[in-house]
Amino acid sequence: MKVLVTGASGQLGKCLQKQSKTTSGIEFLFETSQTLDITSEEALKPYFQEHQPDFCINCAAYTNVEAAEDDKTRAFQVNSEAVKSLARLCKIHQTKLVHVSTDYVFDGLKLSPYVETDSVRPINIYGASKLQGETMVLEHMHSYFILRTSWLYSEFGHNFFNTILKKGEERAELNITTEQIGTPTNANDLAKFILNLIAADSDAFGLYHYSNTGEATWYDFARLILEEKQLEKEVSLKATFSYPTKARRPKFSVMDKSKAEAIFQTQIPHWRESLVGLLKEVNQDLGHRE
C-alpha cells in the first residue's frame, strides 16, 4: 500500500513520520511544501499520475490563526482551494483521503461536547477556511475520512506546549487565558489513530471527531506542563480571563468522540495522561543524549 503524506514537515507530518517507523507493509511518500505544493495543480496532477497513492493524508494547511485574519486569500487558497484539487485528484485516482480539520469550525456557544452532526459556524478566518475545505472534500469525493481535531501539540514545531516549555525555561512571567475550554491533543496519538485507520483499510468513510478526552482551559494545560517539568515554583503563572488576540476563538470546543471510538474500536487517552507520557518521553530522550 502506498500512502502520500502532504505537509510532512509540519507537526502532524513529523508525528506521522515518527509513528510510521513501527508500521510495516506501507510505503510512505512524505512530501513537504517544498517538494509538493498543494496549491499547485500543475505539481499535483503529474504527481498523482506517477505515484497513484492508495491513501493521501493531508497534513498541509495554513495554521496561523492570528495571521489568517489579515491573510484571508492565502488561508483559503491552502485550506480550501488546494483541498478541492486534492479531492478531485483523489477521486480520479481512487485514492482514499484522510483530511484533517479543526474544532474552530464551531462557534463555541454549545454547553456540551460537539457531535459530528452539530451546526458549524466559524468565528475566525482560519476556521472559515477549514470549514470550506471540509465542504470541498465532501462535495468532490466519497472515499474520505475528515478528522476534526483540537489544540494539537507535540515535541515538534511551533505549538502552545513548546511555547510554554520555552517560556518556562526562560523563567518568564506567564499570563494564560481561562476564557476557552477545549481538549489538548497529543499529535502523536492522532498520528497513531490515522495509521491504524489506514492499516485497517476501513470503508467507514465520513466525518469524525478525534481529540484526546477530557477538557481543559489553556491555563490548565500550561499549569500541568509546568508542574510536570517542576517549573511551577520558578515561573509566575497567572490565570487571566482575557488575553487579547486579533482572531476570536470558540469559548467551548470540546468534541464528542464516541463515533470514532465505536466505529474504530479504539480507546482514546485522556489529555492529562498523554501529556505526562510525552513529557516523560522527551525527558528520557534528553537523558540518553547527555
Ligand X SMILES: Cc1cn([C@H]2C[C@H](O)[C@@H](COP(=O)(O)OP(=O)(O)O[C@H]3O[C@@H](C)C(=O)[C@@H](O)[C@H]3O)O2)c(=O)[nH]c1=O
Ligand Y SMILES: NC(=O)C1=CN([C@@H]2O[C@H](COP(=O)(O)OP(=O)(O)OC[C@H]3O[C@@H](n4cnc5c(N)ncnc54)[C@H](OP(=O)(O)O)[C@@H]3O)[C@@H](O)[C@H]2O)C=CC1
Binding site for ligand X (CB under 6 A): 63, 65, 102-104, 150-152, 160, 163, 174-177, 180, 218, 243, 245, 249
Residue 272 contacts residue 214 (beta carbons within 8 Å): yes
220 binds, among ligand Y, ligand X, none (CB under 5 to 8 A by kind): none
C-alpha cell at 251: 469559548
- Which residue in 62, 104, 126, 153 is the catalytic one? 126
Tell me the window of 53-61, 195-203, 228-236, 248-256 that interacts with ligand Y (CB under 6 A): 53-61
- In Å, what is the CA distance from 76 to each residue of 69, 73, 132, 163? 11, 5, 8, 26
Q: Kindly give the pairing relationship between strand 181-182 and strand 216-217.
A: antiparallel
Which one of 53, 108, 127, 157 is in contact with ligand Y (CB under 6 A)? 157
Q: According to the binding rule CB under 6 A, does residue 97 interact with ligand Y? A: no
Tell me, what amino acid is at 174?
L
* Contact (CB, 8 A) for 93 and 140: no
* CA-to-CA dists, residue 109 to 125, 147, 250, angstroms: 18, 21, 7
- Does residue 39 belong to the site contacting ligand Y (CB under 6 A)? yes
Beta carbons within 10 angstroms of residue 230's beta carbon: 9
* 125 scored as a contact of ligand Y (CB under 6 A): no
Q: Is 127 in the site for ligand Y (CB under 6 A)?
A: no
Active site residue 47: no
| Residue whose CB is less far from ligand Y, 61 or 141 | 61
Which of 5, 6, 89, 128 is close enough to bind ligand Y by CB under 6 A? 6
Number of neighbouring beta carbons within 10 Å of residue 258 = 13
Closest CA to 47 of 98, 17, 6, 78: 6
Shortest gap between Cβ of 287 and ligand Y (angstroms)?
Answer: 26
Answer for which of 88, 96, 130, 167 binds ligand Y (CB under 6 A) is 130
Query: Could you say which of 56, 61, 83, 137 contacts ligand Y (CB under 6 A)?
Result: 61
DSSP three-state, residue 76: helix
Where in the sequence numbering do the catalytic residues fall?
126
Residues that bind ligand Y (CB under 6 A): 6-7, 9-13, 33, 37-39, 59-63, 78, 82, 100, 102, 130, 149-152, 157, 159
